[in-house]
Amino acid sequence: ELKVEQNPLFLSMQEGKNYTIYCNYSTTSDRLYWYRQDPGKSLESLFVLLSNGAVKQEGRLMASLDTKARLSTLHITAAVHDLSATYFCAGASGGGADGLTFGKGTHLIIQP
Amino acid sequence: GAGVSQTPSNKVTEKGKYVELRCDPISGHTALYWYRQSLGQGPEFLIYFQGTGAADDSGLPNDRFFAVRPEGSVSTLKIQRTERGDSAVYLCASSLGQGLAGGFEQFFGPGTRLTVL
C-alpha cells in the first residue's frame, strides 16, 4: 500500500525567502503530482512528474522527482504572499489511470 | 472549455437519510474519480471509473456508499443511511485516462460539502 508523507505540515515564511517542501513515498510510484488548494477551494494541478530526475518549473515553483530515494521536492524561490496556500503531493501506485494517494498537505503562510 | 462540475455545492441532511452527489467530468475524459476530503486532511480516494465500469472501488468505506456512471460521462455518488462521520467535502476528478502518461493528470471539480446533522 502506497503511503505519502509530506513535511513540514505547517510553514510560515517571509516574502523573498526560499524554502523546500518534501514528499516521501513508501513504494514504487509511477507518477508524482503536486496540487495547490486555496481555502474553501478545490485542487489546482501544478505539476505531474513522470520519471526519475524529472524537473519542472512554473514561475517561482520548481518540482523534482528522485524515484530511487522515493522523494519529490517542491522548491519555492523568493516567495510572495500570493503563494500562500496548502500544497499536496500525491502518488499513484498502479499503472494507468489509478486513483491517487495524497499526503496530508503543507499549509504555507507567506508573510510580507 | 468547461471544467469538472459538481452539484450540489452544499448539501445538509439528517442522520439516516439518503443523498446523491453528482459529477459532470470534462468532455472526452474517460476516467472519473471520487475522493473525500475531511477538514485539514488530504483527499482520500474512494472509487474510479474507466468508462462505465468501476475499475477500482477499494476506497469505498462500506456498503452504504455506491457510485454509478451508466453512460460513461456523468457519475452519481450515492450514500445510504448517512452518518455524522460522512460529513466531508466530496471531490470529483477526471482525466483522459489513456494515451501518453500525461493523460493521467487529474482535474478536480469544486466539490460538494456534505453536512450530516
Q: What percent of chain B stands above pLDDT 90?
A: 86
Confidence of residue A1 (pLDDT cuts 50, 70, 90): confident
* Rounded distance between C-alpha atoms, residue A11 and residue A107, angstroms: 6
Chain B CB within 8 Å of residue A67 CB: no
Q: For residue A97, which residues of chain B lie inside 8 Å, CB to CB? A: 30-31, 48, 50, 55, 95, 97-98, 103-104
pLDDT tens figures, A6-57: 999 999 999 999 999 999 998 877 789 999 999 989 899 999 998 778 899 9
CA B106 to CA B94: how far, in whole Å? 5
Distance CA B40, CA A106 (A): 10
pLDDT confidence of residue A29:
73
Please give the share of chain A, as a percent, with pLDDT higher than 70: 96
Confidence band, pLDDT 50/70/90 cuts, at residue A97: low
Every domain of chain B and the residues it spans: 5-97
Start-to-end Cα distance in chain B: 37
- DSSP calls for chain A: ---EEEE-SEEEEETT--EEEEEEESS--SEEEEEEE-TTS-EEEEEEE-STT-EEEETTEEEEEETTTTEEEEEE-S--GGG-EEEEEEEE-SSSSPPPEE---EEEEEE-
| pLDDT tens string B8-21 | 999 999 999 999 99
CATH 2.60.40.10, applies to B5-97: yes
Q: What's the CATH code of the domain at A60?
A: 2.60.40.10
A60 pLDDT tier (thresholds 50, 70, 90): very high
Angle at Cα B34 formed by Cα B95 and Cα A10, nearest 5°?
Answer: 95
Question: What is the Cα Rg of chain B in Å?
Answer: 14
Average pLDDT value for residue range B46-57: 92
CA B29 to each of CA A44, B4, B100, B107: distance values in angstroms, whole numbers, following the listed order:
17, 10, 14, 10
Mapped onto helix, strand or coil, the DSSP state of residue B64 is coil
Q: Which of A37, A41, A43 should be substituted to probe chain B, the one whose Cβ sees the most B Cβ atoms within 10 Å?
A: A43
| pLDDT for residue A62 | 98
Is the pLDDT at B101 greater than 70? The verdict is no
All 3 cell numbers of residue A63? Answer: 518540482
Number of C-beta neighbours around residue A58 at 10 A: 10
The closest of A45, A110, A47 to A83, measured between CA atoms, is A110
A69 burial type by CB count under 10 A (0-12 exposed, 13-18 middle, 19+ buried): exposed
- A5, A100, A106: best to mutate for the B interface, most B CBs within 10 A: A100
Domain encompassing residue A16: 4-111
Nearest CA in chain A to B57: A99
Would the pLDDT of B71 be above 90? yes
Q: Is the per-residue pLDDT at A69 higher than 70?
A: yes
Q: How far is B19 from chain A (nearest CA, A)?
A: 21
Domain count, chain A: 1
